[in-house]
Amino acid sequence: MFPSVATLRLSAAMLLVLTAAAAAGPADDLKGATVSALSGLQIPGAAIGEARDEGSNLVLSNLTFAAAGERPVGVKITRATISGGPVNGDALTGARVQLEGIEGTAADGQAYRLATAEITGAQGSFAALLASFATREPFFSGASENALTKFSADRISVPSMTVTRRRPARTEEATYNTLAISRYAQGKMAELTIASTVISPAEAGRKVESGAMRFVGFDLTAGVRTGGGAFNALDSGTIEQLRGTGANGAPFSIERIAIGRVTMRAGERSLVALSQAFTEVDPTGSGDDAASRRSLGAMAEVFARLDFERIEITNFRGQGEGRQAFEMQRFAIAGVTQGKIASIEMGGLVAHERRGQITRIGRFLVENIDASGLVALGKDYGEGRFTPGATPPASAYPDVRRILTEDITVTQATGQPLGSVQRAEIEAGPRIGLMPTRIRARITGFDAPITDARQKVQLAPLGIEDKITLAAELEIEYVEAARELRMRTLNVDVNDVGALNLALNIGGIDRAAVEALPASATLLGLAAKAGRLVLSYKESGGVASFLTHTAEQAGVEEEAFTEQLKMQLTAMVGQFVPDKLLASQITTALATFLDDPNSLVITATPKGDVPLAALAMAAQGSPLALLPMFNVTVEANK
């Protein structure tokens, strides 16, 4: 008996099904599981053109997918080859993944391309591995925390990756050569290395190149994470041998950049979303105000959320204004947290000027900077709570507690010295409004050579021949309980000449008026009252030199010249000081001092409340009109 036609048809159908089932091997299984898993990673519409088995290798061809979101990135991969480990669904176990012809393109024109990428020791979701490329810059930012944490790898190797970045009014292309990631897991790289980098902006003639880069403990999820607590985004990093051309067209080089630990606080928006807002500002100034607000608000949020242990630049060489050479051996920022900076330090600065002068600074240090109020103002501006043109709050002005400069020298290009300062330091106390409650400034080792013939003649009587060497100090403090501003010292000490010191108090200074500065300056001036004033001079040879030199020039004995000078001073004081008792006290003290130059102290204490405004009006006619308002004493050699 022959089978019926119906039986033959059924047998053929079964044969076709069995043949198709036999053809749907591991590669097809991986294809289906991957497309399904990509959809679960918020990458819908993924397509894989072909899946086939090549021996023990699984090969997928013409993969296309795109990340969802405000700024999607479409990805094309020509070929993916998976080998070396079992595959279950889209789950890899110790597999080797070779990707070829990888391209990503965003709607705004930003793009990247890789010829190949090799992932060894791959574990976890193959779909998540692919999804890690659905970002604007793979290996530097991720598409989502979910995608970044669902696979791991022993090593990821990329011979070269080129990224085209689009910015308002400009475009740049960055090429990263020999990129390698070691021990990638949970979105964190144990180590990321890049052999060299070339960044080429569209502007002709500009290019920046760097040598080896190395980043340890780089967490890719830092860029896309929202919510949660603080975590380490980077343990450390280094960038070696940068060189290129700056915005002014001048060449520059940097030997090394070192980055310490970077910690991040999570927020409502990811850092990737915030950084995208930066690009909305048009550097030409033609952008809209809303975009500027969003960008500056995003920048303020980044500063509030990122903490930097330190960033240090070594051996910068470039050119400043007028293409004059500029060098800096060291630049370091340390302790950046929520708008506060522990220190900014520069060392080994050398600046050449057009006039042929060279300025060198051994060390420049700024410590304890609080710009958290400025960061808060940036947030308020970004959210529309602050209007441009309004008066910023006092808290928006950075509070700096210490500035130190050491080993400053100015010379001609020939090496001829023009001046130097060993050390200049300014310290400030806590602020009331914009006003520090304490200021202390010191300058030591100030040297100024005397090269002008006229200056030599003018300074010769004081015994100064080749240079002026001096030190200076200023200390001012606001004492709220006493409502006084106290200048404890203003001292200038010239080597081999003498030291002049001024101390004075100003009363009637209310805290409310200080807080309202600068708007309250007029009111503060009217309320201020004169306090005690002490002016003193300590001899170090200047007056003695003057007496000797002047006597020699006059051709008389020094003793005779001194007596003649005392007589002239007595007549002058008697002419201009009507108070006979005070005049006698002044002439006696001056005579004592001239006979044996040692020290001279003048003390003026106001007779009751004396407003500074009254002093200013009285002094318009003659400063001597102020004398009746004070009890004055003059003492010599005490």
47-75 tens-digit pLDDT: 999 999 999 999 999 999 998 766 788 99
pTM of the model as a whole: 0.85
**pLDDT surpasses 50 at 127:** yes
146 has pLDDT over 90: no
Is pLDDT larger for residue 331 or for residue 226? 331
| Whether 565 contacts 610, CB under 8 Å | no
CA distance 338 to 342: 11
The mean pLDDT of the chain is 88
Helix 580-595 and helix 542-554, axial crossing angle in degrees, nearest 10:
80
3-state secondary structure of 477: strand
As a whole number of angstroms, the distance between CA 75 and CA 179 comes to 20
- Overall size of the chain counted in residues: 638
Q: Return all residues near 403 (Cβ < 8 A) that are at least 6 apart.
A: 365, 366, 367, 425, 426
pLDDT at 17: 40
Please say if the pLDDT value at position 20 is more than 80. Answer: no
Residue 63 to residue 37: CA distance in whole angstroms: 14
Cα–chain center distance at 616: 43
pLDDT band at 391 (very low <50, low <70, confident <90, very high): confident
What confidence score (pLDDT) does residue 309 get?
Answer: 94
* 283 pLDDT tier (thresholds 50, 70, 90): very low
Q: Which two tokens stand for residue 104?
A: 């990503």
pLDDT band at 280 (very low <50, low <70, confident <90, very high): low
pLDDT, tens digit (0-9, with 9 covering 90-100), for 536-585: 999 999 999 999 999 998 899 999 999 999 999 999 998 888 889 999 99
Dihedral Cα 607, 611, 617, 618, nearest 10 deg: 10
- Residue 324, pLDDT score: 87
- Domain range summary for the chain, segments of one domain joined by +: 29-167, 435-636
- What sections of 306-356 are H helices per DSSP? none
So what's the pLDDT on residue 200? 84
- For the segment 524-536, what is each residue's pLDDT rounded down to a tens digit? 888 999 999 999 9
Give whole-number Cα distances, 173 to 113, 197, 254, in Å. 11, 11, 20
Q: Which of 307, 235, 299 is nearest to 273 (CA)?
A: 299
| pLDDT value at residue 18 | 39
How confident is the model at residue 591, as a pLDDT?
94
For range 241-268, the mean pLDDT: 87
